[in-house]
Structure 1
Amino acid sequence: MDAGVVIPAAGKGRRMGGPVSKQFLDLCGVPVLIRTLQVFLDHPAVSQTVLAVSPQEVDYVRDLLNRFRVPAGKVLVTPGGRERQDSVREGLKVLDREWVLVHDAVRPFITREQITTLLQQAEAGGAAVLAVPVKDTIKEVNSDGLVDGTPDRSRLWAVQTPQAFRRSLLVQAHEEGERTGLAATDDAMLVEALGAKVRVVEGDYSNLKLTTPEDMALAEAIWKMRSQ
């Protein structure tokens, strides 16, 4: 397969706090964004990488790539949008591969093997996502703070990234989402709205999305353990 990856990285991560965006935080000596990028740059099926970043941070990100010696031309930096969905859409305008992965900038623990399996499953059906079975009991809660119901946990999966799609399908899904005003929390939701089937590939609980300070402490522990 000849695949590309869009990494939306325009968010500020307000729940993390601190003076810089969470994708630029230090993870054992290297910014989270660089840690995340490296996995895709090393994968033989990924030939194009697009970073959709805040318009105010385009030059900063390009300098960061130079500082960490990311080979020139390996990563395209483009201005993102106000919301994650907007940033992915902007990234798709730049990416020109038949297959596309979409990955959170702050999930640095994705593995080469998971990317390979995900792409294989996407090739078989057009769309695939990484996910893990939910461990906790989930409650549906109404606006008054009262429980409305308890869904069957055996049918619930926590979705991760990357998510993989045929590019034409994902572009169509984003265009339709923009036309209808559908605000999706992930790209698979836009594809599902077209009526397309999305296959689930079991991922790993360590594929964390770094959102809070507690996540950063756990990430450092995971990175040190993997580096031993």
Structure 2
Amino acid sequence: MARYWCVVPAAGIGSRMQSVVPKQYLRINDRTVIEHALTPFLIANDIDGVVVAVSPGDATWPQVEHSLNTQGMRKLITTQGGLTRAQSVLNGLAALQARAADDDWVLVHDAARPCFGAQDLRHLMVQVANHAVGGIVAIRAKDTLKQAEERADRIAATIDRTQVWQAQTPQMFRFGLLYRSLQAALAAKVSVTDESSAVEWAGYAPLLVEGDARNLKVTTPEDLALARFWLSNAEVNS
């Protein structure tokens, strides 16, 4: 029977937050952003281990790790992150090589998405469980979309939004397929903006699983305020 693993790239600095503290360590209520992001995976009985890829010399992560471990969430595995998100994910997969089988599932989640809850996780796992490749959480585009000209300040065309989805995380794939796809894409110097883009480049068609707009990525101060609102007014991790 396939097992489930999780990889969380957390080596970024989040320069757009205009903060000296990396965005994953900013606080929402009494917990850091990354603690909120990790909790659904740490409490899920089906998840065997959670790898967190952090920057070399990260002095904050050991404190967060200790706090989570003392709460009984003892699935954490720490590894060194890379210069890019894709390299951090690849390092996280490498840390699982001795434990994970080719057909195991691995879920990759952003350290800065604190509003993804336990019910959301169960829904994704059920929807993707029988798919040969895997799938991602995404939401349908709601606004009218415009394609810019090369100068980027004039409209070239209006895009049919019914065919456009906004990718989120987690993204869930077979361990071996994702590992090989990422390795090959990086070796070919392909731009890998998320795990699905590497799998797509390798010739596969992942499943789209409709998610929730509340599953935002904390990138700007406004995002942090909105995440604080959602987490204060809804039990997203129940």
TM-score, L = length of structure 1: 0.94
- Tell me the CA shift for residue 79 of structure 1: 0.6
For the pair 1:130 / 2:137, whether they are aligned, the reply is yes
The correspondence of residues 149-228 of structure 1 with structure 2, limited to 5 A, is: 149-227=157-235
Name the amino acid aligned to 2:26: L
- Tell me the CA shift for residue 70 of structure 1: 4.6
The answer for unaligned runs of 5 or more in structure 1 is none
Report the equivalent of 1:103: 109
- Tell me the CA shift for residue 72 of structure 1: 7.1
Q: Deviations over 1:50-108 (max 9, x none)?
A: 00011121x53122221342547420111100010010000000123311000000111
Name the amino acid aligned to 1:166: R
Q: In 1, Cα distance between the equivalents of 2:52 and 2:215? A: 20
Name the amino acid aligned to 2:65: L
Aligned residues with identical type, % of pairs: 35
Contact 2:181–2:202 (CA under 8 A) maintained in structure 1: yes
Q: Deviations over 1:179-210 (max 9, x none)?
A: 21012111000000111110000000100101
Name the amino acid aligned to 2:114: P
**What SS is found at the alignment partner of 2:125?**
helix
Q: In 1, Cα distance between the equivalents of 2:235 and 2:72? A: 24
The correspondence of residues 44-123 of structure 1 with structure 2, limited to 5 A, is: 44-57=45-58, 59-68=59-68, 69-71=70-72, 73-95=74-96, 96-97=99-100, 98-123=104-129
- Tell me the CA shift for residue 113 of structure 1: 2.3
Name the amino acid aligned to 2:115: F
Q: Deviations over 1:97-122 (max 9, x none)?
A: 31100000011111222222322333
**What SS is found at the alignment partner of 2:218?**
coil
Q: In 2, Cα distance between the equivalents of 1:227 and 1:186? A: 27
The answer for unaligned runs of 5 or more in structure 2 is none
Count of equivalent residues:
227
Q: In 2, Cα distance between the equivalents of 1:67 and 1:110? A: 20
Please tell me the root mean square deviation across aligned C-alpha atoms, in Å: 1.6
Q: In 1, Cα distance between the equivalents of 2:60 and 2:226? A: 27
Q: 1:140 aligns with which of 134, 147, 152?
A: 147
**What SS is found at the alignment partner of 2:15?**
coil
Name the amino acid aligned to 1:141: A
Q: In 1, Cα distance between the equivalents of 2:31 and 2:42? A: 16
Name the amino acid aligned to 2:106: V
Q: In 2, Cα distance between the equivalents of 1:111 and 1:67? A: 20
Name the amino acid aligned to 2:117: T
